[in-house]
Amino acid sequence: MPYKVDARGLSCPQPVVLAKKAVENTQEEVIEVLVDNAAARENVSRFAQSAGCVVEVTPADNDEYTVRITRGPGA
């Protein structure tokens, strides 16, 4: 089961703060961050890539996106 973070409707940089806390404080292999705007999608993706994770973005309903973060070997 992926660890899910709901970052919809939050101002910058809260989606990134929540994603970072999830990566640092949980053990799950996969973390899914739900966002509802392009800026948050880009920010969370950029953070996860710089943390050595694999990132996959899937559009969802209502202009939302799921940013799926899979831990890389070093993350």
Partner 1 sequence: MNQKKVVLMAGAVVGALSVLLMKAGNPANMGICVACFIRDIAGALGMHRAEVVQYIRPEVPGFILGSFLVALAGGEFRARGGSSPLVRFVLGFFVVLGALVFLGCPLRMVLRLAGGDLNALTGLAGFAVGIWIGLFFLRNGFSLGRSTKLQSSNGYVLPAVAVALLLLLLMAPAFIFFSEKGPGSMRAPWLLALVAGVIVGAVAQRSRLCLAGGIRDLFLIGDPHLFRGFVMIFVVALVLNMMVGPFKLGFVEQPVAHSDGLWNFLGMVLVGLGSVLLGGCPLRQCILAGEGDADAGITFLGMLTGGAFAHNFSIAASPTGVTPTGKLAVFIGIVVVAVIGYLNMPRTVATGTKEGKQHAIQS
Which positions touch partner 1 (CB under 8 A)? 5-6, 8-14, 16-18, 20-22, 25-26, 36-39, 42-43, 46-47, 50, 62-63
Q: What is the smallest separation between the CB atom of 63 and partner 1, expressed in angstroms?
A: 6
Distance between CA atoms of 50 and 1, rounded to whole angstroms?
24
Q: What is the smallest separation between the CB atom of 70 and partner 1, expressed in angstroms?
A: 18
Beta bridge partners of 58: 66
Q: Which is nearer to partner 1, 21 or 60 (CB)?
A: 21
Q: What is the smallest separation between the CB atom of 33 and partner 1, expressed in angstroms?
A: 11
Q: Which DSSP string do the residues of 24-51 spell out, in sequence order?
A: HH---SEEEEEESSHHHHHHHHHHHHHT
